[in-house]
Amino acid sequence: MAGPILEARSITKHYPGVVALREVSFQLRGGEQGGQQGGEVHALCGENGAGKSTLIKVLGGVLSHESYEGQLLVDGKPVLFQSIRDAEAAGIAVIHQELALVDEMTVAENVFLGNEPARLGFVQHDRMYVETQKVLERFKLEIDPTARVRELGMGQKQLVESARALAKRARILILDEPTSALSDKEVRALLAIILELRAAGVSSIYISHKLDEVFHLADRITVLRDGQSVFTAPRAETDEPSIVQHMVGRRVDDLFPPRSSGGPGEVLLSVRGLSVAPRAGEPARLRDISLEVRGGQVLGIGGLMGAGRSELLMHLFGCYGERLAGEVVFCGRPLPENDPAGNVRAGLVLVTEDRKRYGLCLDAMVGFNLSLSSLRELSRGGFIDGERELQENRRMVQAMRVKTASLEVKVGTLSGGNQQKVVLGRALMTGPKVVLLDEPTRGIDIGAKSEIYALVRELTEQGLGVVLVSSELPELIGLADRILMLSEGQLGGSFDGHEATQAGLLSAAMSKGRAPVHAEEHG
């Protein structure tokens, strides 16, 4: 393969109180590959906060050359990017994780936003729609170019964001977690596009926490840790455990803390014969669910997409559905159907799977978010005790190891893993007895996952009960003392966490109304 078409040399970037990048060097190659003209896919891996986003801001012109130290080269020649337009002029296009689409505009208008074809000062709308249709058809994206973006699902919006970069005919693509909101079918389509572009000579920098995607696509892999480049190797010369070890400083086998040797505590939450409909008069979404949550243990709940896992947790918390049958008892007392605030006061908290939509006030400060659910306990005579609130917030930031310059930083500016820690911290500040965790590690890196796993184990050692909903079977097996698999709103199987296997769990998730299976059938 020929030399680098894009190169960063000794890039150092400081933010107030933080060194985001320290002497980072990185190369993206182009040119001859395997005797044919082609590009390179170079994967960039690392924990949230490792410096990946800062590096791509440098490469994509988001950060001007005056704001960092080091040198950037394109085709071996130094460049001084002042803006995104300078990077685009050099053939670099970035597909950001956070979508930058205008909902009220059409797909075509978004694809050509800022780059509209014009003649005599007038935008050529017909040409714009034709060109957009060509881009969509080339990459087999079944999206109407005349549709308003607000009418699209999240996955389709992500593909439109990708199409916008492709329409610029860039020779260097930078993709930041491009599949985080996509279905399996859409993921396959996007990965095929990247490989097709590579064959056509387009080189890509691919950033993802999903190592299966990385090893499917990448020619080379670079790992950042704590703002430094710690590892670069061809894909064929490394493997997933090695990448994880470089990312977090330890082997993947060590991610899950050992289970407590103590026996189960008292029953804190008991559910018997629970059936729930989304609304009055509608058919049941959950049918005949029974479970127990004991102090000092993790109850894992799994199932395929749409099995009813989130609906179960939300109903127990009091924010979903109409109870048709069954009883729910919490700490010896019946649990109300629709009283989330009362449930929090009683000691039952929910950490939602969608932290940005339901878990955080993104434009508010870290401290505000942490204490939001505990204001009653932090108040005296109807007024918030500011000093006590500050002390509790500081204690929680330290306990959760939240990486933030201060409590006054907007929580929306933190990495995904640190945002999730804030959501968990706010729940724990209420002093709960049972914690409902709905996909607590979705969209965060392996290092942050490991810290959350350790936190879950700490909670059980303190005698709390934890209900863990997860789509990742290794996560359920590694953490849960007992695992229930849901299938189409019903109990599909019950397993001892020590004996569960991925094959057994998957079989139970696909049982589709058959009699529930148990661990001994698949152990």
pLDDT digits (tens, 9 = 90+) for 409-428: 999 888 778 888 999 999 99
The CB-based long-range contact list for 341-348 (8 Å cut-off, 24+ gap) reads 342/318, 343/317, 343/318, 344/373, 344/430, 344/432, 345/376, 347/430, 347/431, 347/432, 347/433, 347/434, 348/269, 348/316, 348/317, 348/432, 348/433, 348/434, 348/436
Whether residue 33 is predicted with pLDDT greater than 60 in this model: the reply is no
Architecture of domain 4-254: 3-Layer(aba) Sandwich (3.40)
Rounded Cα gap, residues 280 and 323, in angstroms: 9
Residue-range domain boundaries for the chain: 4-254, 362-430
Digit-coded pLDDT (tens) for 425-437 = 999 999 999 999 9
Question: Residues 208-217: pLDDT tens digits?
Answer: 888 889 999 9
pLDDT surpassing 60 at residue 252? no
Token pair 């019903």 in the structure block, residue: 490
Instruction: Specify the pTM.
Output: 0.62
Residue 119: Cβ within 10 Å count: 8
Predicted confidence (pLDDT) per residue in 57-96, tens digit: 999 999 999 999 999 999 999 999 999 989 989 999 888 7
pLDDT beyond 90 at 500: no
Q: pLDDT tens across 312-368, in order?
A: 999 999 999 999 999 999 999 999 888 999 999 999 999 988 888 888 898 999 999
